[in-house]
Amino acid sequence: MAKSECVTCVWQKLTGITVDDSRSKMDWAEQIEVSEASIRRHFKHGNVKRTLDVEPEIPANARWEVSSDEFTGDSPASLLELDIDDVESFIMGKGLNPAEWDYQWRFSEWEQSSKLHGTRTLHAVKVWGKRKKSEDAGFDIDAAIAEIDGYEWGRSNKHEIYDRNHADSSQVVLANDFQLGKVDWNGGSKETLDQVFESFKNVRAEATRNGVDEIVIIDGGDIIENFYNTPSQRQTNDLSLPKQVLLAYKVMIKGLRYLADEGFVLKYVAVPSNHSRDRLGMQAASGDVHDDWGIVIAKLIEASTDIEVIVPEDYFDSVAFITANTGIGVVHGHQAGSADKIGTWWQGQSHGEMPVAHADILVTGHFHSMRVQQSGNKKWIIVGSASDRGSSWFTNNRGERSISGMTTFVVRDGAWSDLRIV
């Protein structure tokens, strides 16, 4: 005689609800209308896992389906009795916005027998769909490009007399984490552009005041927000991927030319990062670490200007260079896992004779809040601030808000000074 299928397993298939250990066996038995012993038998073969207290976000590129969890004999008897309003109300009841999805639905009806109630007719509604293709969320890219091309910087606070005693020094600028395309509690791409313009203006004033001959602009990563890092980006971003890249290139070129107009020698440095990584899908990186939009933008800057551009060697994600007799190492920072572990990461790089092994100062982005700490003997780690408009996720979890802007400092002979956020 063929072995009958577990009643609980059948119920799971029909309803789409997982019977797990988030509820007691007695509770499940009452809902499914089987004995508690039946639930125990199911737990032995059902590969039961605990569900999350909070449902995870639905991946932006994935199909999904949700099912009703109420089963009564009073449910509509046929699919024809359901209309679009019923289905949209059901979707909203699951915390989803019907306008964001292409969806379909199905009404199910089946018989269930139990010792307690005999044979009953049960019903369920199942809805499934796929997220609609994202459109730009109201950000006018053409107007933004026109604004960049025609931007008036105003006064530069130029000092007429330079202090030439500091001519062998360099102004290092950490232009980190623009994350263009991102929208958060303090604004979106337009507000980020305003911040970046203000920072470039202040950088030129700082470099003029300090009397340096060279300015090093470091893109420490995450110059764009990108997609496929988190599911929410598909709906919260205000720019498509191509327009994020275009805007990042245009604003960086504008800032570099503004600094060059003052007569400073410029270097531009960029490293790969997590947000700028080219991706095939959610958390799915393509190619090697140089398949990165920040590196692409650096190459475009190199092709369209006479500025010296420095990026890591092929297959490496960190780089070191010399300015004002000071070795500067650059890495985005996500490799370390947390800001507290950067020193340990650097020690490992030193042991392995990796690119940043002999740097005097290691600079990073990624962590958004400025931090300075000593590492080893006369070595320093400087974590740069971010130019994006803040992270509500971070603020909600930590209760803190990071200061937006570029971190800048002066270096000479292996030492740093005049550290500030501009």
- Cβ density class 158-173: b for 16+ within 10 Å, e for less: eeeeeeeebeebbbbb
Higher per-residue confidence, 35 vs 422: 422
C-alpha–C-alpha distance, residues 179 and 275, integer Å: 8
Q: What is the pLDDT of residue 34?
A: 75
230: exposed, middle or buried (Cβ count in 10 Å: 0-12, 13-18, 19+)? middle
**Over residues 173-180, mean pLDDT:** 94
Q: What is the pLDDT of residue 287?
A: 83
| Lowest mean per-residue pLDDT among 42-56, 199-213, 318-332, 342-356 | 42-56
Region 384-411: what's the mean pLDDT? 79
Q: Is the pLDDT of residue 356 over 90?
A: yes
Question: Is the pLDDT at 190 greater than 70, yes or no?
Answer: yes
Q: Where does CATH 3.60.21.10 sit in the chain? A: 141-421
Give the model confidence (pLDDT) of 237-283 as tens digits. 888 889 999 999 999 999 999 999 888 899 999 999 999 898 877 77
- Mean pLDDT in residue range 364-369: 91
- DSSP bridge pairs for 121: 111
Which pLDDT value is given to residue 138?
55
Give the per-residue pLDDT at 247: 93
* CATH of the domain spanning 141-421, picked from 3.40.109.10, 3.60.21.10, 3.40.1050.10, 2.30.40.10: 3.60.21.10
Residue 94 has pLDDT above 70, yes or no: no
Q: What tens digit of pLDDT does each residue of 75-93 get? A: 443 444 556 666 666 666 6
pLDDT at 1 over 70: no
pLDDT at 24 over 90: no
pLDDT at 320 over 90: yes
- Give the chain's end-to-end CA distance (angstroms, integer): 79
Q: What pLDDT does 327 receive?
A: 95
For residue 106, the model assigns a pLDDT of: 66
Extract the tokens encoding 297.
């933008």
pLDDT exceeds 60 at position 95: yes
pTM: 0.64
pLDDT of residue 54: 30
Q: According to the model, what pLDDT value does residue 167 have?
A: 41
Q: For residues 174 and 405, give the distance between their C-alpha atoms in angstroms, rounded to a whole number.
A: 9
Report phi then psi at 361, rounded to 5. -130, 130
pLDDT interval class at 21 (50, 70, 90): low
> Distance (Å, rounded) from C-alpha 114 to C-alpha 36?
13
pLDDT of residue 161: 28
Q: What's the 3-state SS for the chain? A: CCCCCCHHHHHHHHHCCCCCCCCCHHHHHHHHCCCHHHHHHHHHHCCCCCCCCCCCCCCCCCEEEEECCCCCCCCCCCHHHCCHHHHHHHHHHCCCCHHHEEEEEEEEEEEEEECCCEEEEEEEEEEEEEECCCCCCCCCHHHHHHHHHCCCCCCCCCCCCCCHHHCCCEEEEECCCCCECCCECCECHHHHHHHHHHHHHHHHHHHHHHCCCEEEEEECCCCECCCCCCCCHHHHCCCCHHHHHHHHHHHHHHHHHHHHCCCCEEEEEECCCCCCECEEECCEECCCCCCEHHHHHHHHHHHHCCCEEECCCCCCCEEEEEECCEEEEEECCHHHCCHHHHHHHHHHHHHCCCCCCCCCEEEECCCCCCEEEEECCCEEEEECCECCCCCHHHHHHHCCCCCECCEEEEEECCEEEEEEEC
Q: Which residues contact 168 (CB under 8 A, 6 or more apart)?
A: 213, 324, 325, 412
Each residue's pLDDT tens digit, 102-139: 777 666 667 777 777 677 776 666 666 666 654 444 56
Looking at residue 159, its pLDDT comes to: 32
Residue 330 has pLDDT above 80, yes or no: yes
d(CA 302, CA 324): 22
Residue 349 has pLDDT above 90, yes or no: yes
**Region 7-17 average pLDDT:** 74
Distance, in Å, from the CA atom of 93 to the CA atom of 230, rounded to the nearest integer, reads 23
pLDDT digits (tens, 9 = 90+) for 149-165: 777 765 443 333 233 33
Q: Which of 4-18, 65-79, 134-148, 375-389 has the largest mean confidence?
A: 375-389
For residue 142, the model assigns a pLDDT of: 77
Backbone angles phi, psi at 175, to 5 degrees: -90, 70
pLDDT for the residue 68? 46
Give the integer Cα–Cα distance in Å for 409 and 382: 10
- Given a cut of 90, whether residue 219 has pLDDT beyond it is yes
**Mean pLDDT, all residues of the chain:** 78
For 385, residues 6+ apart whose C-beta sits below 8 A from its C-beta are 174, 176, 368, 369, 370, 402, 403, 404, 405, 406, 407, 421
pLDDT of 345 above 60: yes
Which pLDDT belongs to residue 252?
A: 95
CA gap 346, 377 in Å, rounded: 13
Q: What is the mean pLDDT of residues 308-323?
A: 94
Instruction: Return the ∠ at Cα 325 (arms to 321 and 331), rounded to 5°.
Output: 30
